[in-house]
């Protein structure tokens, strides 16, 4: 019973942490607009850069990574059962994508997912972003590249020699990422500005 109470507590910690809508708050503070009202329509780093500039976007990226890193790190060090760790990481990503603090309209979860994996193995964030960039350049569609990357999170980490909690974290957050990016599967993009719809 105590283990399940820990699971609920860490799960809530992950979800609430993920629900902090930094892209919305920072863009509203800097430009007085809702980041979701233009561009891709998502509360993401790239959309923040587009509307508020590079430095606000960089700050959003760091904070979104931290949203996944902090609760996952705490679960790694204090949760009484190993399965609570990937649960916490996945719920942080779910919170980012569907934040209770922002009307369930959030971001896409990549930075938060990588923060969760980084808590277990810092190398993971470099590996997964390298795959995402390579796939995006190859297939010229960032949403489809992200779906594939989410599916390949855990296998890629395994091939890189990473074992233990990071594999389960990668599998858990990867499922959420793949599902989330399906919403943009048919989105049309500019060739060099991959997170923006083409003008009609």
Domain parsing of the chain, residue ranges: 2-184
What dihedral do alpha carbons 30, 34, 37, 43 form, nearest 10°? 90
C-alpha span between 194 and 187 (Å, rounded) = 10
**pLDDT of 198:** 45
**pLDDT of 200:** 41
Q: What angle do CA 83, 86, 91 make, to 5 degrees?
A: 120
Please name which of 114, 123, 62 lies closest in space to residue 92, comparing C-alpha atoms: 114
Please indicate whether residue 160 or residue 72 has the higher confidence score (pLDDT).
72
For 53-96, what is each residue's pLDDT tens digit? Answer: 899 999 999 999 999 999 999 999 999 999 999 999 999 999 99
Task: Taking residues 165-182, report their average pLDDT.
Answer: 96
Residue 15 φ then ψ, to 5°: -65, -45
C-alpha span between 16 and 119 (Å, rounded) = 18
The whole model's pTM is what? 0.91
């Amino acid at each position: 019973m105590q283990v399940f109470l820990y699971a609920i507590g860490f799960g809530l910690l992950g979800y609430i942490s993920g629900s902090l809508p930094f892209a919305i708050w920072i863009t509203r503070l800097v430009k007085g607009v809702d980041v979701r009202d233009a561009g891709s329509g998502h509360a993401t780093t790239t959309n923040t850069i587009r509307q508020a500039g590079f430095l606000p976007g960089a700050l959003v990226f760091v904070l979104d990574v931290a949203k996944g890193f902090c609760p996952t790190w705490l679960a790694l060090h204090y949760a009484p059962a190993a399965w609570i760790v990937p649960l916490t990481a996945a719920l942080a990503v779910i919170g980012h994508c569907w934040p209770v603090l922002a009307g369930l309209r959030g971001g896409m979860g990549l930075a938060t997912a990588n923060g969760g994996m980084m808590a277990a193995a810092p190398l993971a964030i470099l590996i997964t972003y390298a795959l995402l960039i390579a796939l995006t350049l190859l297939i010229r569609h960032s949403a489809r590249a992200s779906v594939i990357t989410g599916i390949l999170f855990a296998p890629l980490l395994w091939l890189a020699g990473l074992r233990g909690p990071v594999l389960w974290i990668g599998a858990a957050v990867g499922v959420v990422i793949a599902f989330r990016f399906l919403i943009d599967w048919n989105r049309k993009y500019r060739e060099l500005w991959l997170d923006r719809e083409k003008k009609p």
